[in-house]
Amino acid sequence: MSKEITSRSADYSQWYNDLVIKGSLADYSAVRGCMVIKPYGFALWENMRDALDKMFKDTGHVNAYFPIFIPKSLFEAEEKNAEGFAKECAVVTHYRLKGDPAHKGKLIVDPEAKLEEELVVRPTSEAIIWNTYKNWIQSYRDLPILINQWANVVRWEMRTRLFLRTAEFLWQEGHTAHATAKEAVAEAEQMLHVYADFVENWMALPVIKGLKTESERFAGAVETYCIEALMQDGKALQAGTSHFLGQNFAKAFEVKFSDKENKLDYVWATSWGVSTRLIGALVMAHSDDEGLILPPKIAPHQVVIVPIYKGEESKPVIDAKAKALAAELKAAGIRVKFDDNDNTRPGWKFAEYEMKGVPVRIAIGARDIENNVAELARRDTREKTSVSLDGLAARVIALLDEIQQAIYNKALAYRDEHITRVNSWDEFVKVLNEKGGFVSAHWDGTAETEEKIKEQTKATIRCIPLDNAQEEGVCVLSGKPSKQRVLFAQAY
Amino acid sequence: MSKEITSRSADYSQWYNDLVIKGSLADYSAVRGCMVIKPYGFALWENMRDALDKMFKDTGHVNAYFPIFIPKSLFEAEEKNAEGFAKECAVVTHYRLKGDPAHKGKLIVDPEAKLEEELVVRPTSEAIIWNTYKNWIQSYRDLPILINQWANVVRWEMRTRLFLRTAEFLWQEGHTAHATAKEAVAEAEQMLHVYADFVENWMALPVIKGLKTESERFAGAVETYCIEALMQDGKALQAGTSHFLGQNFAKAFEVKFSDKENKLDYVWATSWGVSTRLIGALVMAHSDDEGLILPPKIAPHQVVIVPIYKGEESKPVIDAKAKALAAELKAAGIRVKFDDNDNTRPGWKFAEYEMKGVPVRIAIGARDIENNVAELARRDTREKTSVSLDGLAARVIALLDEIQQAIYNKALAYRDEHITRVNSWDEFVKVLNEKGGFVSAHWDGTAETEEKIKEQTKATIRCIPLDNAQEEGVCVLSGKPSKQRVLFAQAY
Ligand SMILES: [Zn+2]
Ligand SMILES: [Zn+2]
């Protein structure tokens, strides 16, 4: 097969790109930093989106849609909040192209069609949404507002990587409004748990739930909750964040409500989001040098059936059996593909579906049918077994569950092996350099030390785990007293 | 109730705006011409989108996602095609905001962050998609490509109306690539029928399928198929289009394939789309002076249960019964809402759900429970009946079907009454002025006459119906010979 993949050991970064491109998840586009999400990658995203969307609705949220453009002045209103992210963005300044009078067939921006106020393509929607909530909220009866939006957002990035960091990406952003701080904190925590539940149980990727330090917090947040996952190269990846925003946005946009006693107060807020970046995490956490490994619960095809033709005369018999089998699996709720393309050989197909990470492959030929069996191959372990055609659907359902669990367990074992407790600076540096993963170390709690550690090792504090054990110690760099360990890692 | 609606007879246009705003479908935003789709409106769109998406997938299509930005040069490549629409658009010229040195706290566009090439926010995606397909298509084995995209698009509009014409709107755009003209034409026709099926059977809105004349065709299309619906003010609305694009885009972007005989040829294309504009059509076609009327198949809530409390002691009994009833309806697959808010009175709730167009209202009080009945009210006819609580779910399912059909029949009767055959220019003008609707008239087939008619009456040729009867006649304006009638109307 022509689709050679760079191995992880040779070049981890190239291995990742190879998987994304050759696994048909995404492609580069004519626009710098923007990707094309290909049908196979988009089907994966649809499965992820639909599962998340159901979890959001089950927790009382509704979807809505807000404009893609944000007038520049709204960023000025939330200036203190926005400082962290509002700078590198796509700015619309004009609303018309016209023919170039100096060069027939070329277009230029019409200088007469300059906008009075520039519009920013949303990097995130707090500003436009809170500017809208102002009109929707008068009294406690209007609260809570529990809105989510599925949307594209744009952040101008100089160095981009497919899924992990692109100028445009797809995400969901929840924006909720509450009458009390307590309720808003509970919401932010609830959504963190929803994210962890989704990433662990659907994406088979174990995460650590925690709080960001002040310097790693979302601009405008009082508290940022996050889930952190570990990739196979020992780097961490932030898989989702949920922010308790306090009254910051309500104050920036003057959103007040009258409570039951008719007293006016600012509204309390949260926001929370995950993006197509999760696909990057999925690829990097589970896959191997043969291609993608996708968890069955979100894989576009859970099973592929490959017929093994030997001579023309066996084809109708094999096709009939394979089609019946596909129908049986489909009726059992399995996403199955029957690949009867006879331009390509079985070996090519095997490699293709290994590349694409289809969890289970069923190969079936004339002799198999005589013996009432088929060959079942699982992608994660590459084990093959011959199984009876009787009751195959039930067997496949059980196998898909087993694979889902096995992928999770493997990632969990790797992650747990890569949380290293260290008590000295030498150890800290050595573990980061030689082993990677999370380093659990004491920290004196100052942004200054955090910054020094980052400069010297590129490691950041990924999070202060929720329900962190309290333990007396001394900071691994400064030697000052510390009451708890935090998790450091180099990160995507 | 405070939510007064302007009547259709007093001001049709204001009636429409009132319904959209007070029916909680959408709201204005801080960005000129961009709307906020509110949760209730978005739930309606989700139901429409999901039904359409299933129809697309059932006909072999897959979803993907292409960049929101299109480099200016790609519009130059398809210049001849793009002339019709590529001019009024949002143009990104810079990628950074920075603090205004002259005014602390204000932001300005960073003049040093000027893009080398301007980016246009997609008004439609043919250019970026065909520029991508170029890399995906080499041989007939790569065809067909049957891709759909759900996306936001932007067209700078000077005069906007919620849903009907907004700068940003949501839509789907199908872009398919084929090895033969015949296959592409079949695809374009298939998707026209899918649209008609959806609009008639889900939105309860009868449509006429037809072809656009050359002057009304999409720029770049060889043939534009359309479905046309009629609104209650006698104006037509184009509800969807499907284009056979010939080899125009393949030629603009140099997309060739080698066929089975290894000969190179340009690829054949279609594109097709419907948008949130359909929500505007839905509102204008069915609603009345009391509010929205939504077809049950796409209504966010199909049934609302309103408890009638009389005194505190009856509340627990009524709530228990209403909740059991809601659970029963939900189990039967009905989207039901139980409104137990005790801050508002039943009369207010009745008006609210009439406004929102909930197809069926069930009111239930203490005496109803004693008599084992409930009051069933249908929104479309506003009829009320007392029905037994036994077997209520089956009764409601039947009623929802009946309402769906009744709404369609009403719109069909109105539409059919408003197709008027005329044979003289006086008649043509008189019908347009006094009755409205579609005017079926002979036309000489020239763009010149078409343009004159438009200037004099604002009526355009909405379509040449598919399978149009051939009939000798003379053009209603020029008196020249004609072989068929076409449909004229004033339109949105
Ligand atoms: Zn040119
Ligand atoms: Zn300021």
The verdict on B310 and B440 lying in the same domain is no
- Among residues B256, B286, B316, the one where a domain terminates is B286
Over residues B145-168, the pLDDT tens digits come to 999 999 999 999 888 999 999 999
Q: Please name which of B387, B388, B401, B393 lies closest in space to residue B332, comparing C-alpha atoms.
A: B393
A107/B72 CB distance under 8 A? yes
Closest Cα of chain A to B14: distance in Å? Answer: 21
Domain membership flag for residue B112: no
Please check whether residue B488 touches A, CB under 8 A: no
Give mean pLDDT, residues A278-292. Answer: 97
| Cβ partners under 8 Å of residue B174, min gap 6 | B56, B61, B146, B147, B148, B149, B191, B270, B271, B272, B273
What pTM does this model have? 0.96
Confidence check: pLDDT of A159 > 90: no
A119/B90 CB distance under 8 A? yes
How many angstroms separate the alpha carbon of residue A79 from the centre of ligand 2?
6
The verdict on A237 and A355 lying in the same domain is no
A96/B86 CB distance under 8 A? no
Over residues A447-492, the pLDDT tens digits come to 999 999 999 999 999 999 999 999 999 999 999 999 999 999 999 9
Helix (H, G, I), strand (E, B) or coil at B94: strand
User: What is the model's pLDDT at position B84?
Assistant: 53
Which CATH number covers residue B378? 3.40.50.800
Over residues B213-258, the pLDDT tens digits come to 999 999 889 999 999 999 999 999 999 999 999 999 999 999 999 9
User: What is the model's pLDDT at position A1?
Assistant: 43
User: What is the model's pLDDT at position B343?
Assistant: 83
Over residues B1-12, the pLDDT tens digits come to 446 899 999 999
Please check whether residue A139 touches B, CB under 8 A: no
Please check whether residue A29 touches B, CB under 8 A: yes
Please check whether residue A134 touches B, CB under 8 A: no
Confidence check: pLDDT of A274 > 50: yes
The verdict on B241 and B377 lying in the same domain is no
Class of residue A262 by CB neighbours under 10 A (exposed 0-12, middle 13-18, buried 19+): exposed
CA A244, distance to chain mean position in Å, is 20
Query: How many structural domains are present in chain A?
Result: 3
A96/B97 CB distance under 8 A? no
Over residues A167-217, the pLDDT tens digits come to 999 999 999 999 999 999 999 999 999 999 999 999 999 999 999 999 999
Residue with tokens 């309500």: A250
The verdict on B245 and B384 lying in the same domain is no
Domain membership flag for residue A398: yes
Closest Cα of chain B to A109: distance in Å? Answer: 8
How many angstroms separate the alpha carbon of residue A194 from the centre of ligand 2?
36
- Among residues A234, A252, A286, the one where a domain terminates is A286
Over residues B19-53, the pLDDT tens digits come to 999 999 999 999 989 999 999 999 999 999 999 99
Domain membership flag for residue B118: no
CA nearest A106 in B: which residue? B76
Domain membership flag for residue B103: no
What range does the domain containing B321 cover? 303-414
State the Cα–Cα distance between residues A212 and A465, nearest whole angstrom. 9
The verdict on B404 and B426 lying in the same domain is no
Over residues B255-275, the pLDDT tens digits come to 999 999 999 999 999 999 999
B81 pLDDT tier (thresholds 50, 70, 90):
low
Give mean pLDDT, residues A22-49. Answer: 97
Domain membership flag for residue B202: yes
Domain membership flag for residue A366: yes
State the Cα–Cα distance between residues B281 and B161, nearest whole angstrom. 12
Domain membership flag for residue B78: no
User: What is the model's pLDDT at position B436?
Assistant: 97
DSSP annotation of B182 reads: H
Please check whether residue B338 touches A, CB under 8 A: no
Residues, CB-to-ion distance under 5 Å, ligand 2: A 79; B 105
- Residue of B44, B97, B330 to mutate when probing chain A, most A C-beta within 10 A: B97
CA atoms within 13 A on the CB side of B323: 7
Give mean pLDDT, residues B377-382. Answer: 98
Q: Token pair for residue A275?
A: 């993006």
User: Worst-scoring range by mean pLDDT, A1-5, B205-209, B322-326, B331-335?
Assistant: A1-5
User: What is the model's pLDDT at position A411?
Assistant: 98
CA nearest A148 in B: which residue? B39
Measuring CA to CA, how many Å separate A283 from each of A198, A258, A416, A419, B30?
Answer: 16, 48, 19, 21, 39
B91/A95 CB distance under 8 A? yes
User: What is the model's pLDDT at position A2?
Assistant: 45
Q: Which residues of B6-24 are buried (b: 16+ CB within 10 A; e: fewer)?
A: bebeeebeebbbbbbbbbb
Please check whether residue B84 touches A, CB under 8 A: no
Chain A residue numbers touching B131 (CB-CB < 8 A): 30
Domain membership flag for residue B128: no
The verdict on A273 and A167 lying in the same domain is yes
Confidence check: pLDDT of A369 > 60: yes
Percent of chain B with pLDDT over 90: 91
A–B CB contacts, 8 A cutoff, strictly below: 187
Please check whether residue B15 touches A, CB under 8 A: no
- Using left for φ > 0, alpha for ψ between -120 and 50, and beta otherwise, residue A232 falls in alpha
Confidence check: pLDDT of A391 > 80: yes
Give the number of whichever ligand sits closest to the CA of residue A83.
2
- Among residues A414, A443, A462, the one where a domain terminates is A414
How many angstroms separate the alpha carbon of residue A268 from the centre of ligand 2?
21
State the Cα–Cα distance between residues B324 and B316, nearest whole angstrom. 12
Please check whether residue A34 touches B, CB under 8 A: yes
Residue with tokens 């046309």: B228
Over residues A52-72, the pLDDT tens digits come to 999 999 999 999 999 999 999
Measuring CA to CA, how many Å separate A137 from each of A126, A145, A404, B98?
Answer: 15, 9, 44, 32
CA atoms within 13 A on the CB side of A311: 5
Identity (one letter) of the amino acid at B217?
Answer: R
Chain A residue numbers touching B45 (CB-CB < 8 A): 65
Confidence check: pLDDT of B80 > 70: no
Give the number of whichever ligand sits closest to the CA of residue B73.
1
**Mean pLDDT, chain B, integer:** 95
For chain A, first and last CA: distance in Å?
32
Confidence check: pLDDT of A80 > 70: no
Which CATH number covers residue B28? 3.30.930.10
The verdict on B236 and B327 lying in the same domain is no
Better-predicted residue by pLDDT, B280 or A84: B280
- Residue of B28, B92, B147, B176 to mutate when probing chain A, most A C-beta within 10 A: B92
CA A323, distance to chain mean position in Å, is 35
**Mean pLDDT, chain A, integer:** 95
The verdict on B170 and B244 lying in the same domain is yes
Which CATH number covers residue A442? 3.30.110.30
Over residues B427-447, the pLDDT tens digits come to 999 999 999 999 999 999 999
The verdict on A201 and A267 lying in the same domain is yes
The verdict on A381 and A471 lying in the same domain is no
The verdict on B31 and B153 lying in the same domain is yes
User: What percent of the residues of chain B are helix, what percent strand, and what percent coil, each to the nearest 5?
Assistant: 35, 30, 35
The verdict on B181 and B198 lying in the same domain is yes
Give the number of whichever ligand sits closest to the CA of residue A76.
2
